[in-house]
Amino acid sequence: MKRRQFLTTSAAALAMTQAGFGFGGRSARAASPSSQARLKMPPLLDTRQTGRLALSARAGSLSLSGGPANATAGFSQDYLGPTIIMQNGPLAADVENTLEEAISVHWHGLLVPGDHDGGPHVPISPGQRWTPDMNIAQQPGTAWYHSHIHGRTAQQVYSGLAGVIQVTDGRDAERGLPVDYGVDDLTLVLQDRRVDGDGRMVYDPSMMDVMHGFMGNRMLVNGQVGAVAAVPAGLVRLRLLNGSNARSYDLSFDDGRLMHLVATDSGFLPAPVALTVLSLSPGERVEILVDFASGGAPVLMSGIEQPFGVLDFAVDDTMPARITVLPDGFGSALEDLSGTEMRTRELSLDMGMGGMMMGGGGGFAINQRAFAMDRIDLEVALGSVERWIIRSTMIPHPFHVHGVQFRVVRENGAPPRPQNNGWKDTVLVPGETEIIMRFDQPASRDKPFMFHCHILEHEDAGMMGQFTVS
Ligand code: C2O
Ligand code: CU
Ligand code: CU
């Protein structure tokens, strides 16, 4: 059967990227700010009244800054999917696949059993639907969803099969947090995409691209290049998802203004933490509050050596500045699992240059074993707490575990950086990172959970394993 060709490929694009990335200077701002498109939010899909959620994976097209139309894919739209708002309780999902290849919908960050998790063992064939009856029971936080077919995840996510989830308990206004979607509460999906000389988006990873992960030369926020986010002159909540295949961002504002971190992947911190630089690796989410009361047109930047603009902001005095005081806390302290009796496992995230050069699959593996659909790597006891010591080889790898929320207890022998000192499900492992988690969701041999590097080219190449919880 003919596989749908999502994207054109081009050798010219590759040559250009290898010559250096073309993000340009300090600002993503177009020559004349008045011609800059306004940043759009993904549409909202609020499931709180109905307890239902319908998505349709479909083909679409996307043109980047006036260039040619690219063949893309999205959930119920051309590229990416709606922001799904959900609360605790029953949630009946219905996902249809109108594409010509199998996809899956993994709820990255939702605590659901293996058979609802949407990993590689739960494919939705072309023309079929998947209808898990889920139950949501977790702390509020920003999660996301994306396709997760083994060997095809990188290409499918790159094409657009991803979206954001907000788990809410309806109490954010009481917490003193901005809640006006698209006004003072912005959802920002950060993705880099590679664009060739003709303005076409390409996905054509070379051997080196697989080694480093596929990087782009254009910055997209919510599928737009060079847009400007209009914000009120008050505190604005930014929910950031790094939805890139491989690029990590070191975020900061060009004028050095503070980012008040209020939530990590899996929920709120006890109190805001003020940072000037925040790193975000693939798969990670953060919520930050930024004070725009001083006005102006600050730029969110990334990169320390070669900084580039991620998103321009423009303060609009006509917008309502509802929140002007930084909340001092969100209640409860973080649960400490470190006193619990636990089993320790060690995992090395392997990649071998030799294997790559010999064309032997690249040696992408965990503990020397490349991912295999029919092999269970670990068996974990339901309700138990475990300590995993994860080691990266060659480059830092973002490590993700399905079906859990974890705490980072050590990073390279030291206590975790402040931005990792909260509940998480994905963490960049610079060298050696120690995490602790409790396994409360069951997963069977047929529908196991995954653990993997979230550089999608590494994951597809075998840097992934699977485990049962019973
Ligand atoms: Cu975000 Cu196993 O994935
Ligand atoms: Cu996940
Ligand atoms: Cu990796």
CB distance 200 to ligand 1 below 6 Å: no
464 or 32: whose pLDDT is higher?
464
| Ligand 1 mean position, distance from CA 245 (Å) | 11
Atom of ligand 1 nearest to the CA of 106: 3
pLDDT of 25 higher than 60: no
CA atoms of 75 and 332, how far apart (whole Å): 36
Q: Which residues pair with 202 in a beta bridge?
A: 8, 194
| Ligand 3 mean position, distance from CA 463 (Å) | 7
Based on its alpha-carbon atoms, the radius of gyration of the chain, rounded to whole angstroms, reads 21
Ligand 1 atom 1, closest CA: 108
Ligand 1 atom 3, closest CA: 108
Atom of ligand 1 nearest to the CA of 119: 2
Q: pLDDT at position 352, please?
A: 79
Model confidence over 331-359: pLDDT tens digits?
777 888 888 889 999 999 999 765 455 44
Sheet holding 365-366, edge to edge: 365-366, 343-350, 385-392, 432-438, 406-411
Dihedral sign for Cα atoms in the order 188, 190, 196, 200: negative
Q: pLDDT at position 27, please?
A: 55
**Span 347-372, average pLDDT:** 79
Q: Report whether 366 contacts 400 (CB < 8 A).
A: no
Greatest pairwise CA separation for the chain in angstroms: 61
CB distance 397 to ligand 1 below 6 Å: no
Q: Report whether 169 contacts 257 (CB < 8 A).
A: no
Q: Which residues pair with 187 in a beta bridge?
A: 239
Q: Is the pTM of this model over 0.85?
A: yes
CB distance 402 to ligand 1 below 6 Å: yes
Model confidence over 390-404: pLDDT tens digits?
999 999 999 999 999
| Ligand 1 mean position, distance from CA 104 (Å) | 11
Burial class of residue 345, CB neighbours in 10 A (0-12, 13-18, 19+) = middle
Model confidence over 215-244: pLDDT tens digits?
999 999 999 999 999 999 999 999 999 999
CB distance 450 to ligand 1 below 6 Å: yes
Q: pLDDT at position 292, please?
A: 98
pLDDT of 213 higher than 70: yes
Q: pLDDT at position 463, please?
A: 98
In the chain, what are the domains?
Answer: 11-33+175-315 (2.60.40.420), 44-167 (2.60.40.420), 343-469 (2.60.40.420)
CA angle 464, 191, 123 (to 5 degrees): 45
pLDDT band at 361 (very low <50, low <70, confident <90, very high): low
pLDDT of 304 higher than 70: yes
Query: What residues have a C-beta under 5 A from ligand 3, the ion?
Result: 397, 453, 455, 458
Atom of ligand 1 nearest to the CA of 146: 1
Ligand nearest to the CA of 450: 1
Model confidence over 90-102: pLDDT tens digits?
999 999 999 999 9
pLDDT of 162 higher than 90: yes
457 or 14: whose pLDDT is higher?
457
Q: Please, what is the average pLDDT of the chain? A: 92
**Span 291-314, average pLDDT:** 95
Neighbours of 46 (CB within 10 A): 16
pLDDT of 6 higher than 60: no
Atom of ligand 1 nearest to the CA of 459: 2
**Span 402-423, average pLDDT:** 97
